[in-house]
Amino acid sequence: MNASGHPALVLVLVGWAAYASAAAGAATPLPLTRWVLPAIAAVLLGRAFGFAWIKPMFPGNSERFWRVSSALCLALGALYAWGSVAIWERLGPT
């Protein structure tokens, strides 16, 4: 399986990276950054902790896949959450 087989996933990940870059000041500010960053963190943390409930829907994936992908989601979700808290006031009311 390669990324070209999942263009929607690639677009989502690029969008998330754009919001992270904008929040860090490395790119042009994007609208609703203050709310999008915690939402991204929630999705990633939900995936990390919810794998036991998601796993039966994808029986072809190995145990290693579930453990590694959940660990990555946990790490990224924690970083997005930490970053959101760290710059919350700087992002303003919108």
What is the DSSP track for 45-75? HHHHH-HHHHGGG-TTS-HHHHHHHHHHHHH
pLDDT at 75: 98
User: What is the per-residue pLDDT for 91?
Assistant: 80
Give mean pLDDT in consecutive 10-residue pieces for the chain, a chain of 94 residues.
72 95 90 94 97 91 94 97 92 70
Confidence at residue 1, expressed as pLDDT on a 0 to 100 scale: 53
What is the rounded CA–CA span in Å between residue 77 and residue 81? 6
**pTM, rounded to two decimals:** 0.86
